[in-house]
Amino acid sequence: MDARFKSRDIERRSLDVDGLKRSFLEWLVYSVGKDARAATRRDWFHTVALAVRDRVVDRWMDTTRSYYQEDAKRVYYLSLEFLIGRLLTNSLSNLGIVDECRQALDRLGLSMEDVVDAEPDAALGNGGLGRLAACFLDSMASQGLPGYGYGIRYEFGLFEQRFENGWQVEYPEQWLQFGNPWEFARPEVLYPVQFYGRVEEFRDSVGERAYRWVDADRVLAMAYDTPVVGYGGETINTLRLWSARATRDFNFGHFNDGAYMKAVEQKILSENLSRVLYPNDATETGKELRLKQEYFFTSASLQDILRRYLQHHTTFDNLPNKAAIQLNDTHPAIGIAELMRLLVDQHALRWDNAWEITRATFAYTNHTLLPEALEAWPVRMIERVLPRHMQIIYEINAKFLNRTKAKAAGDNARLSRLSLIDERGERRVRMGNLAFLGSHKVNGVSALHTDLMKQTVFADFHEEFPDRINNKTNGITPRRWLKQANPALSELITTRIGEGWISDLSQIAALREKADDVVFREEFRRAKRKNKKRLAAYIARQTGEEVLVDSIFDVQVKRMHEYKRQLLNVLHTIALYNEMRDNPTVSWVPVTKVFAGKAAPSYHMAKLIIKLINDVAKVVNHDPSVHDNLKVVLLPNYNVTAAEIIIPAADLSEQISTAGMEASGTGNMKLALNGALTIGTLDGANVEIREHVGPDNIFIFGMTADEVNDLRASGGFNPREVIASNPSLKRALDMISTGAFSPDDRNRYHPIVQALTDGGDHFLVTADFADYCRAQEAAMQLYRDPEEWTRKAILNTASMGWFSSDRTVNEYAEEVWDVHPVKPSHDGEGFR
Ligand code: GPW
pLDDT at 255 (0 to 100): 81
pLDDT in tens, 405-417: 888 777 899 999 9
- pLDDT of 832 above 50: no
CATH numbers and ranges of domains, the chain? 1-70+89-120 (no CATH), 71-86+121-472 (3.40.50.2000), 478-813 (3.40.50.2000)
171-205 confidence digits (pLDDT tens): 999 999 999 999 999 999 999 999 999 999 999 98
CA of 282 relative to ligand 1 center, distance in Å: 6
Cβ 368 under 6 angstroms from ligand 1 = yes
Q: Kindly report the pTM of this predicted structure.
A: 0.97
CA distance 786 to 528: 12
Instruction: Say what the pLDDT of residue 158 is.
Output: 98
Distances (CA, A) of 307 to 240, 378, 388, 449: 14, 32, 22, 36
* Closest atom of ligand 1 relative to the 331 alpha carbon: 6
In the predicted structure, residue 2 carries a pLDDT above the cut 50: no
Determine which residue's CA is closest to atom 11 belonging to ligand 1: 367
Closest by Cα among 45, 182, 36, 28 to 101 = 45
Ligand 1 neighbour 443 (Cβ under 6 A): no
With cut-offs at 50, 70 and 90, classify the pLDDT of residue 574: very high
For the chain, give the percent of residues with pLDDT over 90: 93
pLDDT at 828: 52
- pLDDT, residue 12, reads 61
The sign of the torsion formed by the CA atoms of 539, 545, 549, 550 equals negative
What average pLDDT does the chain have? 96
Instruction: Answer yes or no: is the C-beta of 21 below 6 A from any ligand 1 atom.
Output: no
Segment 812-823 shows an average pLDDT of: 98
Minimum mean pLDDT range among 232-241, 407-416, 749-758: 407-416
Would you state the pLDDT for residue 520? 98
- Give, for ligand 1, the residue of 77, 290, 368 to mutate: max count of ligand atoms closer than 8 Å to Cβ: 368
Among 165-174, 311-320, 402-411, 432-441, where is mean pLDDT lowest? 402-411
188 exposure class (CB count in 10 Å sphere: 0-12, 13-18, 19+)? exposed
**The ligand 1 atom nearest the CA atom of 559:** 5
At residue 146, does pLDDT exceed 50?
yes
**Helix (H/G/I), strand (E/B), else coil: 241:** strand
Whether the CB-CB separation of 658 and 683 falls below 8 Å is answered with yes
Query: Using an 8 Å Cβ cutoff, are 827 and 69 in contact?
Result: no
Cα of 128 from ligand 1 centre, angstroms: 5
What pLDDT, on a 0 to 100 scale, did the predictor assign at position 250? 75
Q: Mean pLDDT throughout 91-113?
A: 97
Average pLDDT over residues 278-292: 91
Alpha helix segments (H runs only) across 408-479:
412-418, 431-437, 447-455, 459-464, 478
719 confidence band (pLDDT: 50, 70, 90): very high
What is the C-alpha R_g of the chain? Answer: 28
- How far is residue 570's CA from residue 593's CA, in Å, rounded to a whole number? 9
Q: What is the pLDDT of residues 361-382, one digit of tens each?
A: 999 999 999 998 999 999 999 9
Query: Which residue puts its alpha carbon closest to atom 1 of ligand 1?
Result: 282
Catalogue the active-site residues: 367, 558-559, 564, 666, 670
Amino acid at 590: P
∠ CA 329-330-336, nearest 5°, is 125
- pLDDT at res. 283: 81
Instruction: Report the pLDDT value the prediction gives residue 1, as an integer from 0 to 100.
Output: 39
What confidence tens digit (pLDDT) does each residue in 377-416 have?
A: 999 999 999 999 999 999 999 999 999 988 877 789 999 9
Q: Is the pLDDT of residue 96 over 50?
A: yes
CA pair distance 813, 811, nearest whole angstrom:
5
pLDDT at 830 over 50: no
**Smallest CA separation from ligand 1 atom 21, residue:** 129
CA distance 525 to 725: 40
Average pLDDT over residues 801-829: 93
Find the mean pLDDT for residues 570-588.
98
Ligand 1 lined by 669 (C-beta under 6 Å): no
CA distances from 175 to 86, 428, 507 (A): 11, 36, 37
- pLDDT at residue 829 in the model: 44
The reply to whether ipTM tops 0.95 is: yes
Side by side, the strands of the sheet bearing 376-378 are 376-378, 428-430, 421-422
Determine the atom of ligand 1 nearest the C-alpha atom of 665. 19
